[in-house]
Amino acid sequence: MGSTLDLQPAQVLVIEDETEIRELISLLLLRQGHRVQQCSTAVEGLEQMKKGHFDLVVLDWMLPQMNGLEFLRVMPNPSSIPVLMVTAKAEPKDICEGLEAGADDYLTKPFEPSVLTARVRALLRRSQRQPNESSDGEPAEVLQIGGITLNLAAYEVKIHGEPVHLTPSEFKILSEMMGSTGRVLTRDHLIEVVQGEGISVTGRTVDTHVFGLRKKLGSEADWIETIRGVGYRIRAE
């Protein structure tokens, strides 16, 4: 049996209408020590969510009766339950639509089993540790990953203890990504983050900010992953 390392066993809801894929995903999760509830429709999934608590939802898009996007719009407690969408819809516009609808991560079929389990671990690690909150539930003033330390109160970023000067836009983008470790942030979302400066921001502008940010992060730049055609994320440790 696989190991979940420092993660607590989770209760996972798998909503997938193709029996073979549903059973494969469930088997992979069971081998990681998680408990799994299987559903073949989103309607059935909603009923299960009314009956009990789930720590993660693995969701297909193209489902009978109610599709995955419709499920995301009506699922209970959407902000507290991470959702991994696993679907054959692989165009960048589809990925953007899924993420904007509320999915926390997006995996296209066919997928490598090791990639699916890694994505699950990343989502559960983020939700269980809640790295953007302090022990009393309040937003943390200091975020850290690898050699990067970001102090929100002091408006300061250090790499291995050495201060690094970021522009306001770079600081906003980095703080947003570090506060959502493991989650894909679309360019549209990052545009909204930077837009508060009262300037015209485009996807290309965001790409330019991220390029500059990576240069300043130096040896720690690899923490920022590009999700082609969609956006960026800070990879989980």
89: left (phi over 0), alpha (psi -120 to 50) or beta: beta
Q: Is the pLDDT of residue 175 over 70?
A: yes
Widest distance between CA atoms in the chain: 55
Q: pLDDT tens digits for 137-170? A: 455 588 889 999 999 888 889 999 999 988 878 8
In this structure, whether the domain defined by 142-234 belongs to CATH 1.10.10.10 is answered with yes
Alpha carbon of residue 31 to chain centroid: 22
Domains of the chain, by residue range, sit at 11-129, 142-234
Query: In angstroms, rounded to a whole number, what is the distance separating the alpha carbons of residues 184 and 226?
Result: 9
CATH for 11-129? 3.40.50.2300
Nearest to 237 by CA among 154, 178, 194, 157: 178
CB 31 within 8 A of CB 1: yes
Average pLDDT (42-51) is 94
To the question of pTM greater than 0.85 for the whole model, the response is no
